[in-house]
């Protein structure tokens, strides 16, 4: 069965929710002729209502069968009242199950701090999630939609020209066919980097024809959208953008405070910190193992003559540092 055929056979989320509501209504103790007439009208409105009702009825029958088995062990005098109670309870259970079934149609996939995950979606797209990331996937016959709720993900999109692939991150949308790109969403910032292919970026809050997107990217380009500035386009080394897939962080003369922030994304147990805010602008370069905050701190300390102090909650760089002008280069580590 093709994907389009499966989508046509599956009842909509609205139909499933309505079926659960009718189930609870029709199995309540005081069922009326008006209930029956309304249900018949709803059932005849469209074929998907019948499929949704069949799913709800199957769930209810299974729940009610369990109630009858339990009632058989109860004295006859109490069975009638118990069956009525179980019937009402079963309808509520099915309503809950229907809501759960709806949510599973649009699952939220997540990773913990320091965790990475690779999976293949039902259309063949390869999805790589970085640390502390949450995405919601929704596939319909018209569009493949992924919402990046937080974190960072690499999308290697299966080429399906008639089935658009759209990623939403904040107010931004990224539309692609067969391509690979990285989207990173922070609290006040969204960055989109194209690895290969071609993508179109737009704004959900902007009324504009689909033929005129906000921006298009070429391979290697990145667009950064921040709340406090205009969109910025640059071309960072792709190796550093996707280094997290190899378990590495690649820094090229970036500020120490930014390098620490990046390392802390992968280690929520022993975060890094500096004792003196004046150290924030020290340049850092090198390749570091993600999650290994201690090795990173030792490399920086060695380069700038600092000390590393660890307690039960964090790793702190302290001491009197050398000025950036006295150093030939920033801190570096051996490549893994």
Domains with residue ranges and CATH for the chain: 3-105 (no CATH), 108-238 (2.60.120.1440), 247-326 (3.55.50.30)
Confidence bin at 105 (pLDDT 50/70/90): low
pTM for the predicted model, two decimal places = 0.67
- Average pLDDT estimate for 256-272: 94
Give the model confidence (pLDDT) of 45-96 as tens digits: 888 788 878 877 776 665 555 444 444 444 555 445 444 444 555 555 555 5
Give dist(CA 142, CA 164) in Å, integer: 7
Q: Where are the alpha helices (DSSP H) in the chain?
A: 3-9, 13-26, 33-45, 47-71, 76-105, 238-241, 256-264, 293-304
Beta strands in 170-261 (DSSP E): 172-176, 180-186, 189-196, 199-203, 215-217, 222-226, 232-234, 248-255
């Amino acid at each position: 069965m093709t994907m389009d055929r499966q989508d046509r056979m599956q009842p909509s989320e609205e139909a499933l929710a309505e079926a659960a509501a009718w189930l609870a209504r029709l199995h309540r103790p005081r069922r009326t002729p008006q209930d029956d007439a309304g249900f018949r009208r709803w059932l005849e409105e469209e074929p998907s209502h019948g499929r949704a009702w069949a799913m709800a009825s199957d769930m209810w029958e299974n729940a009610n069968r369990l109630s009858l088995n339990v009632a058989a062990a109860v004295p006859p005098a109490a069975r009638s009242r118990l069956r009525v109670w179980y019937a009402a309870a079963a309808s509520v259970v099915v309503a809950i199950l229907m809501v759960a079934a709806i949510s599973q149609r649009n699952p939220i996939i997540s990773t913990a701090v320091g965790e990475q995950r690779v999976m293949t979606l039902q259309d063949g797209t390869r999805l790589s999630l970085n640390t502390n990331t949450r995405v919601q996937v929704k596939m319909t016959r018209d569009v493949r939609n992924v919402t990046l709720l937080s974190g960072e993900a690499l999308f290697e999109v299966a080429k399906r020209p008639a089935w658009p692939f759209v990623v939403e991150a904040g107010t931004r949308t990224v539309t692609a066919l067969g391509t690979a790109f990285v989207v990173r969403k922070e609290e006040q910032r969204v960055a989109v980097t194209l690895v290969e292919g071609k993508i179109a970026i737009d704004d959900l809050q902007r009324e504009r024809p689909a033929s005129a997107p906000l921006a298009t990217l070429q391979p290697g380009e990145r667009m950064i959208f921040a709340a406090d500035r205009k969109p910025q386009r640059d071309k960072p080394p792709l190796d550093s953008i996707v280094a997290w897939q190899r378990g590495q962080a690649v820094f090229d003369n970036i500020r120490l405070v930014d390098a620490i922030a990046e390392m802390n994304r992968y280690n929520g147990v022993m975060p890094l910190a500096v004792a003196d805010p004046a150290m924030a602008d020290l340049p850092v370069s090198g390749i570091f193992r993600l999650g290994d905050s201690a090795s990173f701190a030792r490399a920086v300390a060695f380069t700038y003559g600092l000390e590393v102090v660890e307690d039960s909650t964090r790793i702190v760089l302290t001491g009197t540092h050398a000025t950036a002008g006295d150093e030939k280069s920033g801190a570096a580590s051996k490549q893994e």
